[in-house]
Structure 1
């Protein structure tokens, strides 16, 4: 990947944190004062987290097909991540956002092993930063729900 593409990927990754941080901040700023807004914000944040988790799971399917990863584990994990992301969206925000935070961390832990095997370990620093902020945002928003 060229340096320009790598920098663009980093910028997009950091931009993906905007809904996490903004949603978390709004949960705490609005609090319980306006139930309709609170539900809208927590639902939006949960949906965003679920979509991100689905993308993270989908990466394993893409890598499995493109690089012929051995075994079924990456495919199973990819499908499990998507299902867990969806389940979190269906749950009450305080529980669903906590689940999302945990799944985001689990995705990172799984990726540490797979990315290293594929020679993509240089992406793990970015993944760690994105995961830390996204998971913390989910946990804090769950606590404010």
Structure 2
């Protein structure tokens, strides 16, 4: 893993934090942008599982989890906007736990540490935005 992996990973938190702050201030569109970004990032994480399964570095069920995660993220976009926050935060944490339990040997230790921080902050951003944001904004 290079320093760029960490830098880009942490840079990916900027939209989570910034859009959560805007959602908390009832900025028009911020909730939709935040949750769409979260769905895209979750799909990206599912793609990482898909890629790892190509080399058979991970159990076969990781392939099915990768597809399930992407479909679940798409379903968010069909749900009423305000109901996305908690499922989104929980999904990020559950995916991280899945990777930690089943895939920790397949990924570099630094990557798992990075994922821990990124997942925690992304989930916290979604949770806080959902706890205090105005519905429908």
Q: Do the two structures share a fold, i.e. TM-score over 0.5?
A: yes
Runs of 5+ unmatched residues, structure 2: none
1:62 aligned residue (46, 51, 57):
51
Runs of 5+ unmatched residues, structure 1: none
Contact persistence 1:17–1:133 (CA under 8 A) = yes
Contact persistence 1:13–1:130 (CA under 8 A) = yes
Aligned residue for 1:118, secondary structure, equals coil
Q: TM-score, normalised by structure 2?
A: 0.88
Cα distance in 1, alignment partners of residues 69 and 83 from structure 2: 16
Identify the residue that residue 118 of structure 1 maps to in structure 2.
106
Please give the root-mean-square deviation of Cα atoms over the aligned residues, in Å. Answer: 1.6
Cα distance in 2, alignment partners of residues 99 and 25 from structure 1: 19
Cα distance in 2, alignment partners of residues 17 and 41 from structure 1: 15
Answer with 1 or 2: which has the greater Rg. 1
1:98 aligned residue (80, 86, 90):
86
1:68 to partner: Cα distance: 4.8
State which drifts further: 91-100 or 9-18.
Answer: 91-100
Aligned residue for 1:69, secondary structure, equals coil
**Higher relative helix content:** 1
> Which 4+ residue blocks in structure 1 deviate beyond 4 angstroms?
none
Contact persistence 1:90–1:96 (CA under 8 A) = no
Identify the residue that residue 44 of structure 1 maps to in structure 2.
33
* 1:1-145 matched pairs, under 5 angstroms: 1=1, 6-29=2-25, 31=26, 37=28, 40-71=29-60, 73-143=61-131, 144=133, 145=135
Higher relative contact order (CA 8 A, sep 6+): 2
